Amino acid sequence: MNSAFLALWNDYPAAMTEEYEAWHTFEHVPERLTAPGLRAARRYGGGAEGEQRYFTLYELQDLTAVEHPAYMDLVRNPSVWSQKMRRHFSNVLRIPASTVAAGGHGIGSHALIQAYSVDRSRAPAGISGLDKALRNMVSDARILGFRIGRAEPNQLYEVFTQDDETDADTFNIVLIIEATSRRRLAVSRPAISGMAQDMLQPRKCLRDNLFDLLVAYQDGEFPSDRSQVTASKTLRLQFDGMDP
């Protein structure tokens, strides 16, 4: 498992779901994976009334991957299609995090993903307690696996303003809990949330969503030249003139 990951939540207008799915699947994520240090990616979805809610998980070699010039070039020089799609993002939260605990094996078809703002003094003991408790849940086959990430708060991102500002004396703690069925995660969710509240004693819950895995990309699938993974003109033409 890589030592870090990039967690990114966003909502998108339901009227643009087909175009978002095409852009994100065939251009956006493949482009990102051309940057050194971005190893793999998964995109999750979970519908909400009037919008589509998404979570994207990028596996990082380490946190410097999101500072690499090749990655920053993607951020600062988006394709024409990406420029269009960026205008419609909402409810964005982006957290580059170090993996501080993990357990289990495999990739589940469903994931419970939570993010909390936690006192720095409280975080080590809380993470240790959650690590032990979640390992027990893996042993009992209640969940498939888990990961806990720790991140500095309020990390700057040039593309979107993030509304979920937290205190400087906190960490952002991200929990990724995987299972093989939505029902199994739904049953375990109250216990997991209760443990997180008791052990982390968060100042704020930033996200708490149950997602379905939509697509996963493995390490080494794409070349290092971003121009070689740009979506085809035929695909992009399908959505010309469809911008609300």
Residue 227, both tokens: 């121009």
Annotation: CATH topology of 4-237: Alpha-Beta Plaits (3.30.70)
Calpha distance 227→173 (Å, rounded): 35
Residue of 90, 184, 3, 188 lying closest to 196 (CA atoms): 188
Instruction: Say which range, 107-111, 165-169, 201-205, 223-227, has the weakest mean pLDDT.
Output: 223-227
pLDDT, tens digit, 9 for 90 and up, residues 60-101 = 999 999 999 999 999 999 999 999 999 999 999 999 999 999
Percent of the chain past pLDDT 90, that is, above it, reads 84
Is residue 105's pLDDT more than 90?
yes
- Most distant pair of Cα atoms in the chain: their distance: 54
User: What SS3 string covers the chain?
Assistant: CCCEEEEEEEEEEHHHHHHHHHHHHHHHHHHHCCCCCEEEEEEEEEEECCEEEEEEEEEECCHHHHHCHHHHHHHHCCCHHHHHHHCCCEEEEEEEEEEEEEEECCCCCEEEEEEEEEECCCHHHHHHHHHHHHHHHHHCCCCCEEEEEEECCCCCCCCCCCCCCCCCCEEEEEEEEEECCHHHHHHHHHHHHHHHHHHHCCCEEEEEEEEEEEEEECCCCCCCCHHHCCCCHHHHHCCCCCCC
Residue 190 has what pLDDT? 97
* End-to-end CA gap in the chain: 41
Residue 34 has pLDDT above 80, yes or no: yes
- List the chain domain ranges: 4-237
For 177, the token pair is 């809990």
Considering only CA atoms, which of 156, 14, 25, 16 is closest in space to residue 85? 16
Helix axis angle for 123-139 and 182-200, nearest 10°, is 150
Ranking 31-35, 70-74, 162-166 by mean pLDDT, the lowest is: 162-166
Identify the bridge partners of residue 137 per DSSP, sorted by sequence position: none
